[in-house]
A and B are shown apart, each in its own frame.
Chain A
């Protein structure tokens, strides 16, 4: 590990302050209070971070193991009753499919009570007051959960037809949002703004305004925490129904190829598809591409020249840039605008025309993406050298092909897992389906301390998962539009 402590930020070593036990609390509960900026956060020698991580993980486990049924069961199975080393966390990662380990037949059959009972195993919140029996759709189930508890569940993109549900609560969404500026701040030897605030920035997002997909929940909480709801423009003003997403996925999986029969009956689709037929038709009535052309006009008229915060999947930004180019809209926004994207951008490495077109449209010099996933909180920034730097509340592990834990040194390729220490109402241990190359202890050219990942991230071979990438949801939506449009012929 790099213990040099060379943060490259003028020697202002932002070491954890005061009692390490308090710092451990802050690392999990409010990293932004512990580290006022990314520069300070990444200048702390990683050995100190590791000590904080161990203490934080020890406390999280102690609090959660008796209350979170699934964690208690996992701990029993692996024979761990307390965290003694960070290595103990490696044995306490939920397998990747855990958040969709319910029966699909439950919500197909409207059995939202069973789904609630299943969810209750993952959270410290008491779900006994949830009136699940009143729900007859996924959207209604979310409403009932939110009425009775602080849970604000998000879900994956449904590409497989089965959603993963992550049992996050209000406090965690706020906490998560508060850490997002770290990803936009210069650190180490980087040029650029060392303290970023989003306050006052209009928010632009080329998708729905709200919904329970991870991308939309994140957008919603960013608006809630930083934004002014009256200064938000989204491509679609409304709420994306999770039920419609599932139906769309079912439709696509059932029908398969391009040749669509007029009669959906033989495909054994959920009865909900017929019941919500008119809503599906409404989506067909105006494809995304047409709306996008109007959207780029609208946002440039409303916020042209201002610094804005754009949050969008990369493929949609690319489409929007093409529309803007056709309409002669260039350098639309202030050059200090913040652009958050994922699902295809290659940050600094991206040399394609797409990258040039998006930056020219928006009027920014550079766009960097971040690494993250819905099961783990936080955006892990891309640095000037094109590496993803892991935030200190994310305790990383790498596993070999045979599942053995790889050593925490040198540069290794393996399956990525982590314990997210910000999770306090559920257990943040999760084994991802990403195969990454991670460097543990060699300095990065950007000057940040701590482990970092190469930009190229692959899926672990032959796992069919529906990990949330923010690209998947709009892509699925477009599929839905396409599928239904063909259906209409």
Chain B
């Protein structure tokens, strides 16, 4: 994979990286490191000469050029992802061919800016009046930002480049091992069609092994960056946190887990059960559960239900069958389950507790027998979910913390009833069951309880005369 640094493509591959079962080569990050940093935000003046309209137009043009059938670099990124990603090839193909472009559509961009920032703040000074009668002015400026991105879906690379452009930021993007190339291919596409454009000149994309002490302290230096946006697992966040200090702010998109809370309607043995099965299968199965929005555990309320265990098992079988009916362009069996999960399933099937519907490479539903999530619930992946029968949701909600992102609830009346308690407990997104995995992203919404777009800006205040009595 090439590196892209401020409008230049470096493809002199000298360093080999070992994945599990694959290798890829990149240039040496130390050789381009001196080009990366921007000594002063003054160097971003060119970005601030662009109008929002210019930016949206540029991104829309970029989005049209990302189809791997027509773009060799994107094709290479897709082909590498087939090895590096946990997503099956068919699902990856759908994302690259049909979805990435959605992130760049003008109507999506404009909506996101309007709802999360307000276009006027990006375009110029916005008058605000204080209680003392003074008029002050506020404007959103771009920041120099290092992005340590996740690779569970190529969409993370796309949204990072989009957010950087919309906020007029200067981005250094460090790509992950499970998607080393998509961000670089998008940035290289920018270089190909507009090499001198300010938006092109303010994006750099590199790969190095996370935590590499020969490069990270130089790149994440407070002299050249204002913010770090860190996605992903605890290691990635902790590592990024080391560089936070005076002058450097961390926007942490922490590791998250998601869950479902389902009312007794799921056990009616009729249309209610059928609908829940379809909805839960969608949340679990779309994009093969690679996103943190997908639930690993679904709690089913058994209040007033007789023979609850048998009914939950019947629901589990329905969910498993519904997983099999998901469109294969969005969800597919894997070639091999993660070893640790496979071991747990082998034991479960022999012991008979927890009970498992399915259980092969096409996914499965693991039913708890004692009202608690199974001990391997955090290993659920590749379309596996733990169905836990509970008398009520009090205990579950009591255990929710800020590590819980999405809670899918059904029926809708239950969602409305529970959303305040769930929010107080720490959950960040409450949706109707079946809506957790939105194929087109949620660019115009807060993420993980954070206004990411707003926080990527530097909020500058212009004041006139003080209002002395």
* A313–B340 alpha-carbon span in the complex (Å): 28
Asked if B375 contacts A96 (CB within 8 A), the reply is no
* A402–B337 alpha-carbon span in the complex (Å): 10
Q: Which residues of B contact A95 (CB under 8 A)?
A: 343, 346-347, 350
User: When the two chains form the complex, which single residue of A101, A104, A461 contacts B347, counting CB atoms closer than 8 Å?
Assistant: A101
**How big is the B interface, by class?**
10 to 19
Say whether A339 faces chain B, with CB atoms less than 8 Å apart. Answer: no
User: When the two chains form the complex, which single residue of B336, B350, B370 contacts A77, counting CB atoms closer than 8 Å?
Assistant: B350
Say whether A94 faces chain B, with CB atoms less than 8 Å apart. Answer: yes
* A460–B372 alpha-carbon span in the complex (Å): 29
Chain A min CB distance to B124 (Å): 46
Chain A min CB distance to B290 (Å): 17
**How big is the A interface, by class?**
20 to 34
Asked if B349 contacts A463 (CB within 8 A), the reply is no
Say whether A98 faces chain B, with CB atoms less than 8 Å apart. Answer: yes
Chain B min CB distance to A98 (Å): 6
Asked if B346 contacts A462 (CB within 8 A), the reply is no
Q: Which residues of A contact B372 (CB under 8 A)?
A: 103, 105
Chain A, residues 76-116, CB within 8 Å of chain B (1/0): the string is 01000000000000000011111001011100000000000
Q: Which residues of A contact B339 (CB under 8 A)?
A: 460-463
Asked if B346 contacts A103 (CB within 8 A), the reply is no
User: When the two chains form the complex, which single residue of A162, A401, A461 contacts B375, counting CB atoms closer than 8 Å?
Assistant: A162
Q: Which residues of A contact B352 (CB under 8 A)?
A: 73
Say whether A120 faces chain B, with CB atoms less than 8 Å apart. Answer: no
* A460–B338 alpha-carbon span in the complex (Å): 12
Chain A min CB distance to B403 (Å): 14
* A105–B370 alpha-carbon span in the complex (Å): 10
Looking at chain A's contact residues, is the secondary structure mostly helix, strand, loop, or mixed?
A: loop
Q: Name the residue among A96, A103, A105, A464 with the largest chain B CB count within 10 angstroms.
A: A103
Q: Which residues of B contact A98 (CB under 8 A)?
A: 347, 350-351
Q: Which residues of A contact B340 (CB under 8 A)?
A: 462-464
Say whether B344 faces chain A, with CB atoms less than 8 Å apart. Answer: yes
Residues of chain B in range 324-370 having any CB-CB distance to chain A below 8 Å: 336, 338-340, 343-344, 346-352, 370
* A77–B352 alpha-carbon span in the complex (Å): 11
Q: Which residues of B contact A96 (CB under 8 A)?
A: 343
Closest-by-CB residue of B relative to A460 is B339
Asked if A103 contacts B375 (CB within 8 A), the reply is yes
Closest-by-CB residue of A relative to B349 is A77
Say whether A225 faces chain B, with CB atoms less than 8 Å apart. Answer: no
Say whether A296 faces chain B, with CB atoms less than 8 Å apart. Answer: no
Chain A, residues 450-461, CB within 8 Å of chain B (1/0): the string is 000000000011
Chain A min CB distance to B317 (Å): 19
Q: Name the residue among A94, A105, A401, A462 with the largest chain B CB count within 10 angstroms.
A: A462
* A130–B375 alpha-carbon span in the complex (Å): 27
Q: Which residues of B contact A101 (CB under 8 A)?
A: 347-348, 350-351
Closest-by-CB residue of B relative to A121 is B351
Asked if B343 contacts A74 (CB within 8 A), the reply is no
Closest-by-CB residue of B relative to A103 is B370
Chain A min CB distance to B418 (Å): 24
Contact A463/B370 with A98-B351, A162-B375 known, Cβ cut-off 8 Å: no
Q: Which residues of B contact A345 (CB under 8 A)?
A: none
Asked if B343 contacts A402 (CB within 8 A), the reply is no
Q: Name the residue among B340, B344, B348 with the largest chain A CB count within 10 angstroms.
A: B340
Closest-by-CB residue of B relative to A162 is B375
Chain A, residues 311-334, CB within 8 Å of chain B (1/0): the string is 000000000000000000000000
Q: Name the residue among B336, B346, B349, B352 with the largest chain A CB count within 10 angstroms.
A: B346
Q: Which residues of B contact A462 (CB under 8 A)?
A: 338-340
Say whether A436 faces chain B, with CB atoms less than 8 Å apart. Answer: no
- Chain B residues engaging chain A, CB cutoff 8 angstroms: 20, 336, 338-340, 343-344, 346-352, 370, 372, 375
Can you name 9 extra interface pairs (CB under 8 A) apart from A104-B375, A464-B340? A77-B350, A95-B346, A97-B344, A97-B346, A101-B347, A101-B350, A103-B375, A105-B370, A105-B372
4 closest A-B pairs by beta carbon, nearest first, are A95-B346, A97-B347, A462-B339, A101-B351
